[in-house]
Structure 1
């Protein structure tokens, strides 16, 4: 009798980067002109790793 075991491992890594930039400009006109600019940048990185393992065992008997 022979036993054959096959193991297959698959690893998948996905990285997603999202960058959001928001610019707000405010201006007021009086005797003096004032302009205010605010810039906000947000970066989010998400990493997802998926591992799949498949094991197959086969039996064979030789006479």
Structure 2
């Protein structure tokens, strides 16, 4: 799922990135990985506001 999310973020496929992000939510709440945080920062930096909000909800810091 992370690989799928990574690919979609790199392609700026924001609508498609929402589904893998939501599937990762249970994992993101318990596992902290610097690699995952890099991808979430890319969403935060480049993504639309609605997806940024979803990413913050999925992985609260």
Q: TM-score range by the shorter chain?
A: under 0.3
Which of the pair is proportionally richer in helix? Answer: 2
Query: TM-score of the superposition, structure 1-length normalised?
Result: 0.14
The higher radius of gyration belongs to 1
Query: TM-score of the superposition, structure 2-length normalised?
Result: 0.14
